[in-house]
């Protein structure tokens, strides 16, 4: 939030994008919905800053390979992956958010509970072999 107590420009933009996404979901036919939503995600990724695009493409490949039951969709204007319509995990562009790094996170719909303390979001500046393994393991656990 801004210091004046209102929403920041990024927050207002994200809310408008989410409202537009919900409106678009209402008008799509059932048969095309999944394919159309994935095309929306791929178009969003394609339009990202080159550094974030590379991260988002890699994460998209890991998530869709690890958990093919997760359906790609836009969520607050960013790539997300849903199970039975509920978002489980998502990518946030650091460039779009005007932050120094991007993030990959999980919603409460993910099955990641581990006692009383667990991470729900990770900073992402590169996806090396170790990060790829960690993402795949968390995604598999989130939908398991």
**What are the pLDDT digits (tens) for 73-121?**
999 999 999 999 999 999 999 999 999 999 999 999 999 998 889 889 9
Tokens 């939503």 belong to residue: 37
- Taking the whole predicted model, whether its pTM rises above 0.75 is answered as yes
Please state, in angstroms and rounded to a whole number, the distance separating the CA atoms of residues 38 and 34: 6
- Rounded mean pLDDT of 121-136? 97
Please state, in angstroms and rounded to a whole number, the distance separating the CA atoms of residues 124 and 60: 13
Please state, in angstroms and rounded to a whole number, the distance separating the CA atoms of residues 3 and 100: 21
Provide the percentage of residues in the chain whose pLDDT is more than 90: 70
pLDDT band (50, 70, 90) for residue 2: very low
């Amino acid at each position: 939030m801004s210091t004046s107590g209102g929403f920041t420009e990024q927050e207002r933009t994200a809310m408008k994008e989410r409202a537009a996404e919900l409106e678009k979901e209402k008008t799509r036919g059932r048969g095309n919905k999944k394919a159309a939503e994935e095309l929306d995600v791929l178009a969003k990724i394609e339009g990202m800053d080159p550094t974030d695009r590379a991260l988002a493409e890699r994460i998209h490949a890991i998530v869709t390979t690890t958990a093919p039951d997760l359906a790609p969709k836009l969520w607050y204007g960013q790539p997300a992956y849903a199970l039975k319509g509920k978002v489980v995990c998502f990518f946030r562009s650091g460039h779009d958010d005007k932050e120094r790094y991007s993030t990959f996170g999980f919603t409460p719909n993910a099955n990641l509970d581990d006692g009383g303390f667990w991470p729900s979001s990770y900073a992402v500046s590169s996806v090396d072999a170790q990060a790829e393994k960690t993402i795949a393991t968390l995604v598999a656990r989130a939908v398991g």
